[in-house]
Amino acid sequence: MTAPQAVVLVGGEGTRLRPLTDTRPKPMMPLVDRPFVAHQLDHLRRHGVQDVVFSCGYRPDALREFFGDGEGHGVRLRYVVDPEPLGTAGAVRNARDLIDADRILVFNGDILTDLDLTALVAQHERTGAEGTVALTPVDDPSAYGLVRLHDDRSVQEFLEKPSREDLRPGEPYLINAGTYVLEPAALSRIPAGVKVSIERQTFPLIAAERALYGFPSDAYWRDIGTPDSYLDAHMDVLSAAVGTNSPAGDAYLGPGTQVADGARVGPLASLGPGCVVADGAAVDRSVVGPGGRIGARASLRRAILGEGVVVGEEAVLHDGVVVGDRATVPAGVRLAGPVRVPTGSTAAEPAPAG
Ligand code: GTP
């Protein structure tokens, strides 16, 4: 049995994280001191997986430039690029020429987890499955793929984004955690060169033949696909709720970042390299990209700032505000809630209602 290879899907447009993903693919979004997908490579390496294919689509150059052939990250890394968006199954199929292992591990490129991959593969072998899907418990499965299992853990039902009628209140919901083990037979089901969704098309097909299994686990799990979950992932890394190779602590300050004596940074703030925080400013539970300038007495709370954002004196960014790269929030402007400031723009305060 050869060591498993991994295919990491990193080609989506990341629309829910716009405008931050206007300028970078979601897997290159920083998570504390490194791009998000670097944490996934760390996780793979811990389980002995050293041969990785990045299946790219949207903005592949940023990934290539940062990771190269993977040598600096302890893995052999190769790339395939969708000629056009191929969907989650098409993107796996597109990597087929680079796969020579007996089986592959597939990862969505936006999942932070400490899942025991070794145990996942062991169950896959034991059951003789064609595919095994890692599952995680959630309270509300409606934004995910709800999976129901038979007693032997074979998949009974795979319902992508279930509607209210699909749900049975009180049921312990298990969802697709975005990590799979696939046999070559599963890959052979995916037609080449066309857009195919693994969740909506391939898995229901395999499940119908009772060859798809689930692997439920209480491991730490979070997808970083929305501003809220992206922020929460930072909180979890900084508070060591999940073990990573990033530093935990009240705040992370990138190299060269300067914080004035009278400013308060933290709890749970992450500032990229080369930021400046002026006197009297407060930054908590927020993420500030490289080169951010936070003016005197400005206040950030649950805000996400892209690269090179300038926040003026006494500006207020609270409760889910997302600011695109190189945008400016002028002095005194107050923004709160799920406001998105476009890349390179100057934010204006919302007009008072009425
Ligand atoms: P949203 O637009 O916000 O839904 O994000 P997304 O485009 O990343 O889609 P989603 O979160 O459903 O994708 C799950 C994973 O698959 C992510 O890691 C994506 O990068 C990846 N992915 C999604 N679609 C494609 C595709 O067509 N090609 C490739 N190569 N990867 C994809």
Indicate if ligand 1 lies below 6 Å from the C-beta of 12: yes
302 located within any domain: yes
Indicate if ligand 1 lies below 6 Å from the C-beta of 89: no
- Say what the pLDDT of residue 354 is: 59
- Say what the pLDDT of residue 344 is: 97
Distance separating alpha carbons of residues 176 and 88, to the nearest angstrom? 13
Do 24 and 149 lie in one domain? The reply is yes
Residues 6+ apart with CB under 8 A from 263: 277, 278, 279, 280, 281, 282, 283, 294
Contact call for residues 178 and 147 (beta carbons, < 8 A): no
**CATH number of the domain within which 319 lies:** 2.160.10.10
Atom of ligand 1 nearest to the CA of 82: 30
Indicate if ligand 1 lies below 6 Å from the C-beta of 10: yes
Q: In a 10 Å sphere around its CB, with 0-12 CB exposed, 13-18 middle and 19+ buried, how is residue 325 labelled?
A: buried
- Say what the pLDDT of residue 4 is: 82
Indicate if ligand 1 lies below 6 Å from the C-beta of 24: no
Return the DSSP state at 279: T
Do 215 and 278 lie in one domain? The reply is no
- Say what the pLDDT of residue 169 is: 83
Gap from CA of 6 to ligand 1 centroid (Å): 16
Distance separating alpha carbons of residues 184 and 257, to the nearest angstrom? 48
Do 39 and 173 lie in one domain? The reply is yes
Distance separating alpha carbons of residues 90 and 179, to the nearest angstrom? 16
**CATH number of the domain within which 212 lies:** 3.90.550.10
Contact call for residues 307 and 290 (beta carbons, < 8 A): yes
Gap from CA of 225 to ligand 1 centroid (Å): 9
- Say what the pLDDT of residue 1 is: 57
83 located within any domain: yes
Q: What pTM value is reported for the model?
A: 0.94
306 located within any domain: yes
Q: What are residue 181's phi and psi, to 5 degrees?
A: -115, 130
Do 222 and 124 lie in one domain? The reply is yes
Indicate if ligand 1 lies below 6 Å from the C-beta of 108: yes
- Say what the pLDDT of residue 102 is: 83
* Among the listed residues 209, 211, 222, 127, the one whose alpha carbon sits nearest the alpha carbon of residue 175: 222
Contact call for residues 131 and 213 (beta carbons, < 8 A): yes
Gap from CA of 74 to ligand 1 centroid (Å): 25
Do 126 and 57 lie in one domain? The reply is yes
Q: What does each of the 354 residues of the chain score in pLDDT, given as a tens digit?
A: 567 899 999 999 999 999 999 999 999 999 999 999 999 999 999 999 999 999 999 999 999 999 999 999 999 999 999 999 999 999 999 999 999 888 999 999 999 999 999 999 999 999 999 999 999 999 999 999 999 999 999 999 989 899 999 998 888 999 999 999 999 999 999 999 899 999 999 999 999 999 999 999 999 999 999 999 999 999 999 999 999 999 999 999 999 999 999 999 989 999 999 999 999 999 999 999 999 999 999 999 999 999 999 999 999 999 999 999 999 999 999 999 999 999 999 998 776 665
> What spatial distance separates the first Cα and last Cα of the chain, rounded to whole Å?
69
Do 150 and 33 lie in one domain? The reply is yes
Contact call for residues 63 and 88 (beta carbons, < 8 A): no
Do 213 and 165 lie in one domain? The reply is yes
Q: How many structural domains are present in the chain?
A: 2
67 located within any domain: yes
354 located within any domain: no
Tokens representing residue 74 in the block: 């302890």
Do 201 and 111 lie in one domain? The reply is yes
Which structural domain range is residue 271 located in? Answer: 250-341
Tokens representing residue 117 in the block: 């991959």
237 located within any domain: no
350 located within any domain: no
- Say what the pLDDT of residue 353 is: 64
Do 61 and 135 lie in one domain? The reply is yes
Return the DSSP state at 154: B
Distance separating alpha carbons of residues 273 and 342, to the nearest angstrom? 22
Gap from CA of 109 to ligand 1 centroid (Å): 8
- Say what the pLDDT of residue 2 is: 62
254 located within any domain: yes
Do 297 and 160 lie in one domain? The reply is no
- Say what the pLDDT of residue 349 is: 76
Indicate if ligand 1 lies below 6 Å from the C-beta of 198: no
Pocket test of ligand 1: the residue of 9, 40, 53 to mutate, having most ligand atoms within 8 Å of its CB, is: 9
Complete edge-to-edge strand list for the sheet that includes strand 276-277: 258-259, 276-277, 293-294, 310-311, 328-329
Do 158 and 286 lie in one domain? The reply is no
C-beta neighbour count of 103 within 10 angstroms: 24
**Which residue's alpha carbon is nearest to atom 28 within ligand 1?**
11
